Amino acid sequence: MSNATKGEAGSKQFDLLERMNLSEHEMVVFCRDRETGLNGIIGVHNTVLGPAMGGLRMYPYNNESQALDDVLRLSRAMTYKSSLAGINVGGGKAVIIGDPKKDKSEALLRRFGQFVDSLGGKFYAAADVGIKPADLDTIKLETPYVSGVSPLRGGSGDSAPLTAYGVYLGMKAAILHMEGQDKLQGKRVMVQGVGKVGSKLVKHLIDEEAEVYIYDTDLETAKSLEREFQVKRVENEQVLTLDVDILAPCALGGILNEHSIPNLKCRAVVGGANNQLLVEDRDSLALQDRGILFVPDFMVNAGGIVNVSLELQTYHPEVAKRITENIYDTTLKVLELSEKEKMSPLDAAKNLAEKRLREIGKIRLYR
Ligand code: NAI
Protein backbone atom coordinates (compact mmCIF):
# COMPACT_ATOMS: atom_id res chain seq x y z
CA MET A 1 0.00 0.00 0.00
CA SER A 2 1.34 3.45 -0.86
CA ASN A 3 1.72 6.08 1.84
CA ALA A 4 -1.04 8.08 0.19
CA THR A 5 -3.58 5.22 0.41
CA LYS A 6 -2.73 4.42 4.03
CA GLY A 7 -4.52 7.64 4.94
CA GLU A 8 -4.87 9.63 8.11
CA ALA A 9 -6.73 6.97 10.12
CA GLY A 10 -4.09 4.37 9.36
CA SER A 11 -1.25 6.54 10.60
CA LYS A 12 -3.16 7.48 13.78
CA GLN A 13 -3.78 3.82 14.58
CA PHE A 14 -0.13 3.06 14.00
CA ASP A 15 0.80 5.86 16.40
CA LEU A 16 -1.42 4.46 19.12
CA LEU A 17 -0.11 0.92 18.84
CA GLU A 18 3.43 2.25 18.73
CA ARG A 19 2.77 4.32 21.85
CA MET A 20 1.27 1.29 23.60
CA ASN A 21 4.32 -0.64 22.60
CA LEU A 22 6.70 1.98 23.96
CA SER A 23 4.89 2.27 27.27
CA GLU A 24 4.25 -1.51 27.36
CA HIS A 25 0.49 -1.28 27.68
CA GLU A 26 -1.50 -4.49 27.45
CA MET A 27 -4.76 -2.96 26.30
CA VAL A 28 -6.49 0.35 25.65
CA VAL A 29 -10.27 0.44 25.31
CA PHE A 30 -12.22 3.35 23.86
CA CYS A 31 -15.79 3.69 25.15
CA ARG A 32 -18.29 5.79 23.24
CA ASP A 33 -22.03 6.17 23.55
CA ARG A 34 -24.00 8.74 21.61
CA GLU A 35 -27.13 8.63 23.81
CA THR A 36 -25.39 9.42 27.09
CA GLY A 37 -22.55 11.48 25.61
CA LEU A 38 -19.97 9.08 27.00
CA ASN A 39 -16.46 9.45 25.64
CA GLY A 40 -14.07 7.42 27.73
CA ILE A 41 -10.81 5.52 27.60
CA ILE A 42 -9.69 2.61 29.79
CA GLY A 43 -5.96 1.90 29.95
CA VAL A 44 -4.79 -1.51 31.14
CA HIS A 45 -1.05 -1.29 31.56
CA ASN A 46 0.01 -4.47 33.31
CA THR A 47 -1.81 -7.40 34.94
CA VAL A 48 1.16 -9.46 36.15
CA LEU A 49 0.37 -8.85 39.83
CA GLY A 50 -3.42 -9.08 39.50
CA PRO A 51 -6.34 -7.39 37.75
CA ALA A 52 -5.58 -3.85 36.66
CA MET A 53 -7.00 -1.34 39.13
CA GLY A 54 -7.03 2.43 39.13
CA GLY A 55 -9.15 5.51 39.46
CA LEU A 56 -11.67 6.78 36.99
CA ARG A 57 -11.03 10.45 36.26
CA MET A 58 -13.70 12.73 34.81
CA TYR A 59 -12.16 15.87 33.40
CA PRO A 60 -12.94 18.38 30.63
CA TYR A 61 -9.89 17.51 28.49
CA ASN A 62 -9.34 19.87 25.56
CA ASN A 63 -9.24 16.98 23.14
CA GLU A 64 -9.03 13.20 22.79
CA SER A 65 -5.27 13.19 22.47
CA GLN A 66 -4.85 14.92 25.85
CA ALA A 67 -7.19 12.36 27.45
CA LEU A 68 -5.26 9.49 25.87
CA ASP A 69 -1.94 10.89 27.10
CA ASP A 70 -3.35 11.13 30.59
CA VAL A 71 -4.76 7.61 30.69
CA LEU A 72 -1.56 6.08 29.31
CA ARG A 73 0.66 7.91 31.81
CA LEU A 74 -1.65 7.35 34.76
CA SER A 75 -2.21 3.64 34.12
CA ARG A 76 1.53 3.01 33.80
CA ALA A 77 2.17 4.83 37.07
CA MET A 78 -0.44 2.59 38.73
CA THR A 79 1.64 -0.48 37.85
CA TYR A 80 4.67 1.02 39.60
CA LYS A 81 2.56 2.24 42.50
CA SER A 82 0.93 -1.09 43.31
CA SER A 83 4.11 -3.05 42.79
CA LEU A 84 6.08 -0.81 45.12
CA ALA A 85 3.28 -0.85 47.71
CA GLY A 86 3.48 -4.64 47.73
CA ILE A 87 -0.18 -5.17 46.82
CA ASN A 88 -1.60 -7.64 44.36
CA VAL A 89 -3.27 -5.60 41.69
CA GLY A 90 -2.01 -4.45 38.31
CA GLY A 91 -1.91 -1.02 36.74
CA GLY A 92 -4.91 0.55 35.06
CA LYS A 93 -6.77 3.82 34.87
CA ALA A 94 -9.79 5.24 33.09
CA VAL A 95 -10.85 8.68 31.96
CA ILE A 96 -14.17 10.16 30.90
CA ILE A 97 -13.96 13.35 28.85
CA GLY A 98 -16.37 15.86 30.34
CA ASP A 99 -17.05 18.34 33.09
CA PRO A 100 -18.14 16.40 36.17
CA LYS A 101 -20.26 19.35 37.31
CA LYS A 102 -22.21 19.55 34.03
CA ASP A 103 -21.86 16.32 32.07
CA LYS A 104 -22.14 13.61 34.72
CA SER A 105 -25.39 11.65 34.72
CA GLU A 106 -26.64 8.33 36.05
CA ALA A 107 -27.02 6.98 32.52
CA LEU A 108 -23.49 8.01 31.52
CA LEU A 109 -21.93 6.41 34.59
CA ARG A 110 -23.96 3.21 34.17
CA ARG A 111 -23.07 3.02 30.47
CA PHE A 112 -19.41 3.35 31.45
CA GLY A 113 -20.00 0.54 33.96
CA GLN A 114 -21.22 -1.67 31.13
CA PHE A 115 -17.92 -1.15 29.29
CA VAL A 116 -15.97 -2.02 32.46
CA ASP A 117 -18.16 -5.12 32.83
CA SER A 118 -17.40 -6.21 29.29
CA LEU A 119 -13.73 -6.60 30.30
CA GLY A 120 -14.73 -9.44 32.63
CA GLY A 121 -12.61 -8.37 35.60
CA LYS A 122 -9.44 -7.40 33.79
CA PHE A 123 -9.97 -3.84 35.05
CA TYR A 124 -11.46 -2.55 38.31
CA ALA A 125 -12.50 1.11 38.46
CA ALA A 126 -11.95 3.23 41.58
CA ALA A 127 -12.37 6.99 42.15
CA ASP A 128 -10.11 9.78 40.97
CA VAL A 129 -10.53 13.49 40.27
CA GLY A 130 -14.16 14.28 39.45
CA ILE A 131 -15.53 10.95 40.70
CA LYS A 132 -16.92 10.26 44.18
CA PRO A 133 -17.76 7.01 46.00
CA ALA A 134 -21.46 7.68 45.24
CA ASP A 135 -20.63 7.67 41.50
CA LEU A 136 -18.96 4.29 41.94
CA ASP A 137 -22.15 3.04 43.62
CA THR A 138 -23.95 4.02 40.41
CA ILE A 139 -21.37 2.29 38.22
CA LYS A 140 -21.69 -0.79 40.42
CA LEU A 141 -25.30 -1.18 39.30
CA GLU A 142 -23.84 -2.44 36.00
CA THR A 143 -20.69 -4.26 37.06
CA PRO A 144 -19.08 -5.91 40.09
CA TYR A 145 -15.65 -4.70 38.91
CA VAL A 146 -15.62 -1.52 40.99
CA SER A 147 -13.65 -0.70 44.14
CA GLY A 148 -14.00 2.17 46.59
CA VAL A 149 -17.81 2.19 46.77
CA SER A 150 -19.56 3.71 49.79
CA PRO A 151 -19.20 1.95 53.15
CA LEU A 152 -23.00 1.57 53.23
CA ARG A 153 -22.71 -0.55 50.09
CA GLY A 154 -19.97 -2.68 51.62
CA GLY A 155 -17.03 -0.72 50.24
CA SER A 156 -14.01 1.08 51.66
CA GLY A 157 -15.35 4.55 50.81
CA ASP A 158 -13.21 7.64 50.35
CA SER A 159 -9.56 6.67 49.98
CA ALA A 160 -8.22 10.24 50.22
CA PRO A 161 -7.55 10.13 54.01
CA LEU A 162 -5.22 7.16 53.60
CA THR A 163 -3.60 8.71 50.53
CA ALA A 164 -2.89 11.86 52.54
CA TYR A 165 -1.55 9.79 55.45
CA GLY A 166 0.91 8.04 53.11
CA VAL A 167 2.08 11.37 51.66
CA TYR A 168 2.61 12.70 55.17
CA LEU A 169 4.69 9.62 56.09
CA GLY A 170 6.68 10.00 52.86
CA MET A 171 7.40 13.61 53.86
CA LYS A 172 8.66 12.56 57.27
CA ALA A 173 10.92 9.95 55.67
CA ALA A 174 12.23 12.59 53.22
CA ILE A 175 13.08 14.96 56.09
CA LEU A 176 14.77 12.11 57.94
CA HIS A 177 16.84 11.41 54.84
CA MET A 178 17.78 15.08 54.46
CA GLU A 179 18.32 16.04 58.10
CA GLY A 180 18.67 12.89 60.17
CA GLN A 181 15.42 13.53 62.09
CA ASP A 182 11.84 13.13 60.90
CA LYS A 183 10.01 15.97 62.71
CA LEU A 184 8.00 18.35 60.56
CA GLN A 185 7.56 20.89 63.33
CA GLY A 186 8.47 24.34 62.00
CA LYS A 187 9.02 23.06 58.46
CA ARG A 188 7.56 25.26 55.77
CA VAL A 189 5.26 23.29 53.47
CA MET A 190 3.37 24.61 50.44
CA VAL A 191 0.29 22.52 49.62
CA GLN A 192 -0.99 23.08 46.07
CA GLY A 193 -4.62 21.94 45.87
CA VAL A 194 -6.57 21.39 49.06
CA GLY A 195 -9.29 19.05 47.86
CA LYS A 196 -9.87 15.58 49.27
CA VAL A 197 -6.17 14.68 49.63
CA GLY A 198 -4.60 18.12 50.16
CA SER A 199 -6.98 19.11 52.97
CA LYS A 200 -6.30 15.89 54.91
CA LEU A 201 -2.58 16.37 54.41
CA VAL A 202 -2.86 19.89 55.82
CA LYS A 203 -4.45 18.46 58.95
CA HIS A 204 -1.52 16.07 59.54
CA LEU A 205 0.94 18.92 58.98
CA ILE A 206 -0.86 21.29 61.33
CA ASP A 207 -1.08 18.55 63.97
CA GLU A 208 2.71 18.35 63.78
CA GLU A 209 3.06 22.14 63.93
CA ALA A 210 4.45 22.64 60.45
CA GLU A 211 4.13 26.07 58.87
CA VAL A 212 1.60 25.48 56.11
CA TYR A 213 0.87 27.53 52.99
CA ILE A 214 -2.05 26.66 50.73
CA TYR A 215 -3.43 27.49 47.33
CA ASP A 216 -6.49 26.18 45.51
CA THR A 217 -8.03 27.39 42.27
CA ASP A 218 -11.35 27.12 44.07
CA LEU A 219 -11.25 30.16 46.32
CA GLU A 220 -14.04 28.93 48.57
CA THR A 221 -12.23 25.62 49.21
CA ALA A 222 -9.06 27.51 50.16
CA LYS A 223 -10.90 30.00 52.33
CA SER A 224 -12.81 27.35 54.22
CA LEU A 225 -9.54 25.57 55.04
CA GLU A 226 -8.06 28.87 56.14
CA ARG A 227 -10.97 29.27 58.55
CA GLU A 228 -10.48 25.77 59.93
CA PHE A 229 -6.69 25.67 60.34
CA GLN A 230 -3.73 27.96 61.03
CA VAL A 231 -2.62 28.12 57.39
CA LYS A 232 -1.52 30.97 55.14
CA ARG A 233 -3.32 31.30 51.82
CA VAL A 234 -1.10 32.42 48.94
CA GLU A 235 -1.74 33.49 45.34
CA ASN A 236 -1.27 31.25 42.31
CA GLU A 237 1.92 33.04 41.18
CA GLN A 238 3.58 32.28 44.53
CA VAL A 239 2.86 28.54 44.66
CA LEU A 240 5.90 27.32 42.78
CA THR A 241 8.32 30.05 43.79
CA LEU A 242 7.77 30.18 47.52
CA ASP A 243 10.84 29.63 49.69
CA VAL A 244 9.77 26.45 51.51
CA ASP A 245 11.22 23.19 52.73
CA ILE A 246 8.66 21.06 50.93
CA LEU A 247 6.38 21.64 47.97
CA ALA A 248 3.39 19.28 48.09
CA PRO A 249 1.54 19.16 44.77
CA CYS A 250 -1.95 17.82 45.50
CA ALA A 251 -3.89 19.02 42.46
CA LEU A 252 -3.20 17.82 38.92
CA GLY A 253 -0.06 16.42 37.27
CA GLY A 254 2.62 17.93 35.02
CA ILE A 255 3.44 20.87 37.27
CA LEU A 256 7.16 20.05 37.41
CA ASN A 257 8.41 21.03 33.98
CA GLU A 258 11.00 23.05 32.08
CA HIS A 259 9.23 26.31 32.99
CA SER A 260 8.60 25.71 36.69
CA ILE A 261 11.75 23.82 37.76
CA PRO A 262 14.25 26.66 37.22
CA ASN A 263 12.17 28.90 39.53
CA LEU A 264 11.47 26.47 42.37
CA LYS A 265 12.77 27.51 45.77
CA CYS A 266 11.85 24.36 47.71
CA ARG A 267 14.30 21.76 49.00
CA ALA A 268 12.07 18.77 48.27
CA VAL A 269 8.88 17.84 46.43
CA VAL A 270 6.60 15.34 48.15
CA GLY A 271 2.95 15.36 47.17
CA GLY A 272 -0.18 13.41 46.38
CA ALA A 273 -0.83 14.45 42.78
CA ASN A 274 -0.22 11.77 40.18
CA ASN A 275 2.43 12.30 37.48
CA GLN A 276 3.91 15.53 38.79
CA LEU A 277 6.80 15.42 36.29
CA LEU A 278 5.69 16.55 32.85
CA VAL A 279 8.48 14.69 31.04
CA GLU A 280 9.64 12.04 33.48
CA ASP A 281 13.35 11.57 32.79
CA ARG A 282 14.09 15.12 31.68
CA ASP A 283 12.35 16.77 34.62
CA SER A 284 13.63 14.31 37.20
CA LEU A 285 17.16 15.08 36.03
CA ALA A 286 16.52 18.84 36.06
CA LEU A 287 15.38 18.62 39.69
CA GLN A 288 18.44 16.59 40.58
CA ASP A 289 20.68 19.18 38.91
CA ARG A 290 19.07 21.88 41.01
CA GLY A 291 19.63 19.83 44.19
CA ILE A 292 15.90 19.43 44.82
CA LEU A 293 14.89 16.06 46.23
CA PHE A 294 12.00 14.63 44.22
CA VAL A 295 10.15 11.90 46.08
CA PRO A 296 8.20 9.93 43.44
CA ASP A 297 4.47 10.55 43.63
CA PHE A 298 3.53 6.95 42.85
CA MET A 299 5.48 5.84 45.93
CA VAL A 300 3.98 8.19 48.52
CA ASN A 301 0.40 8.41 47.23
CA ALA A 302 -0.24 4.65 47.28
CA GLY A 303 -2.53 4.78 50.34
CA GLY A 304 -5.60 5.13 48.15
CA ILE A 305 -4.93 2.09 46.00
CA VAL A 306 -3.96 0.09 49.08
CA ASN A 307 -7.34 0.96 50.57
CA VAL A 308 -9.45 0.03 47.55
CA SER A 309 -7.41 -3.03 46.57
CA LEU A 310 -8.27 -4.66 49.87
CA GLU A 311 -11.90 -4.81 48.75
CA LEU A 312 -10.86 -7.72 46.54
CA GLN A 313 -10.08 -9.61 49.76
CA THR A 314 -11.70 -8.76 53.08
CA TYR A 315 -11.57 -5.04 53.68
CA HIS A 316 -10.45 -3.84 57.09
CA PRO A 317 -9.38 -0.21 57.67
CA GLU A 318 -6.65 -1.22 60.16
CA VAL A 319 -5.05 -3.55 57.61
CA ALA A 320 -5.16 -0.79 54.99
CA LYS A 321 -3.54 1.62 57.44
CA ARG A 322 -0.81 -0.85 58.35
CA ILE A 323 0.10 -1.50 54.71
CA THR A 324 0.10 2.25 54.04
CA GLU A 325 2.52 2.78 56.91
CA ASN A 326 5.11 0.82 54.90
CA ILE A 327 5.43 3.94 52.73
CA TYR A 328 7.73 5.44 55.36
CA ASP A 329 10.25 2.57 55.11
CA THR A 330 9.87 2.23 51.35
CA THR A 331 10.65 5.94 50.93
CA LEU A 332 13.78 5.62 53.06
CA LYS A 333 14.84 2.51 51.15
CA VAL A 334 14.37 4.22 47.77
CA LEU A 335 16.22 7.38 48.85
CA GLU A 336 19.11 5.32 50.24
CA LEU A 337 19.28 3.23 47.06
CA SER A 338 19.24 6.39 44.97
CA GLU A 339 22.16 7.82 46.92
CA LYS A 340 24.13 4.58 46.95
CA GLU A 341 23.68 3.83 43.25
CA LYS A 342 23.90 7.50 42.20
CA MET A 343 20.56 7.36 40.43
CA SER A 344 17.50 9.57 40.75
CA PRO A 345 14.87 8.61 43.35
CA LEU A 346 12.54 8.11 40.38
CA ASP A 347 14.82 5.49 38.85
CA ALA A 348 15.44 3.88 42.23
CA ALA A 349 11.69 3.57 42.86
CA LYS A 350 11.08 2.19 39.38
CA ASN A 351 13.90 -0.32 39.78
CA LEU A 352 12.39 -1.72 42.97
CA ALA A 353 8.91 -1.85 41.41
CA GLU A 354 10.20 -3.58 38.28
CA LYS A 355 12.16 -6.09 40.38
CA ARG A 356 8.97 -7.22 42.13
CA LEU A 357 7.11 -7.41 38.80
CA ARG A 358 9.84 -9.62 37.36
CA GLU A 359 10.00 -11.89 40.39
CA ILE A 360 6.25 -12.35 40.82
CA GLY A 361 5.82 -12.62 37.06
CA LYS A 362 8.16 -15.61 37.08
CA ILE A 363 6.45 -17.49 39.89
CA ARG A 364 3.04 -16.92 38.31
CA LEU A 365 4.18 -19.07 35.39
CA TYR A 366 3.64 -22.06 37.69
CA ARG A 367 -0.03 -21.34 38.42
P1 NAI B 1 -9.87 16.71 44.42
O2 NAI B 1 -10.58 16.96 43.14
O3 NAI B 1 -10.68 16.42 45.64
O4 NAI B 1 -8.91 17.94 44.79
C5 NAI B 1 -8.13 18.60 43.87
C6 NAI B 1 -8.12 20.07 44.30
O7 NAI B 1 -7.17 20.76 43.52
C8 NAI B 1 -9.46 20.78 44.11
O9 NAI B 1 -9.81 21.46 45.30
C10 NAI B 1 -9.20 21.74 42.95
O11 NAI B 1 -9.96 22.93 43.07
C12 NAI B 1 -7.72 22.00 43.12
N13 NAI B 1 -7.01 22.43 41.91
C14 NAI B 1 -7.18 22.06 40.62
N15 NAI B 1 -6.26 22.65 39.84
C16 NAI B 1 -5.47 23.38 40.66
C17 NAI B 1 -4.34 24.20 40.47
N18 NAI B 1 -3.82 24.39 39.26
N19 NAI B 1 -3.78 24.79 41.54
C20 NAI B 1 -4.29 24.60 42.78
N21 NAI B 1 -5.37 23.85 43.02
C22 NAI B 1 -5.94 23.25 41.98
O23 NAI B 1 -8.86 15.51 44.11
P24 NAI B 1 -8.06 14.62 45.14
O25 NAI B 1 -8.76 13.34 45.32
O26 NAI B 1 -7.71 15.42 46.33
O27 NAI B 1 -6.76 14.30 44.30
C28 NAI B 1 -5.70 15.24 44.19
C29 NAI B 1 -4.55 14.60 43.43
O30 NAI B 1 -4.13 13.43 44.12
C31 NAI B 1 -4.89 14.15 42.00
O32 NAI B 1 -3.77 14.31 41.19
C33 NAI B 1 -5.18 12.67 42.17
O34 NAI B 1 -4.96 11.94 40.99
C35 NAI B 1 -4.17 12.32 43.23
N36 NAI B 1 -4.49 11.12 43.98
C37 NAI B 1 -5.66 11.04 44.68
C38 NAI B 1 -5.95 9.89 45.39
C39 NAI B 1 -7.17 9.78 46.25
O40 NAI B 1 -7.25 8.82 47.03
N41 NAI B 1 -8.12 10.69 46.16
C42 NAI B 1 -5.06 8.72 45.35
C43 NAI B 1 -3.82 8.96 44.67
C44 NAI B 1 -3.58 10.11 43.97
Residues of the chain with CATH 3.40.50.10860: 25-73+90-150
Architecture category of domain 25-73+90-150 in CATH: 3-Layer(aba) Sandwich (3.40)
- The pocket around ligand 1, CB under 6 angstroms, is made up of 128-129, 159-160, 163, 192-198, 215-218, 221, 250-253, 272-274, 301, 304
What is the CB-side half-sphere exposure of residue 262 using CA atoms within 13 A? 2
Residues of the chain with CATH 3.40.50.720: 160-356
- Tell me whether residue 93 is one of the annotated catalytic residues: yes
- pTM for this predicted structure: 0.92
Please write the tens of the pLDDT for every residue from 86-124. Answer: 999 999 999 999 999 999 999 999 999 999 999 999 999
Helices 345-363 and 317-340: crossing angle in degrees, nearest 10, is: 120
Could you tell which of 252, 256, 324 is best to mutate to test the pocket of ligand 1, judged by most ligand atoms within 8 Å of the CB? 252
Q: What is the CA radius of gyration of the chain?
A: 20
* DSSP calls for 247-286: EEE-S-S--BSTTTGGG---SEE--SSS--BSSHHHHHHH
Cα 255 to ligand 1 centre (Å): 12
**Fold of the domain spanning 160-356:** Rossmann fold (3.40.50)
Q: pLDDT band at 77, cuts 50/70/90?
A: very high
Please write the tens of the pLDDT for every residue from 219-234. Answer: 999 999 999 999 999 9
Please write the tens of the pLDDT for every residue from 270-322. Answer: 999 999 999 999 999 999 999 999 999 999 999 999 999 999 988 899 999 99
Residue 66 to residue 63: CA distance in whole angstroms: 6
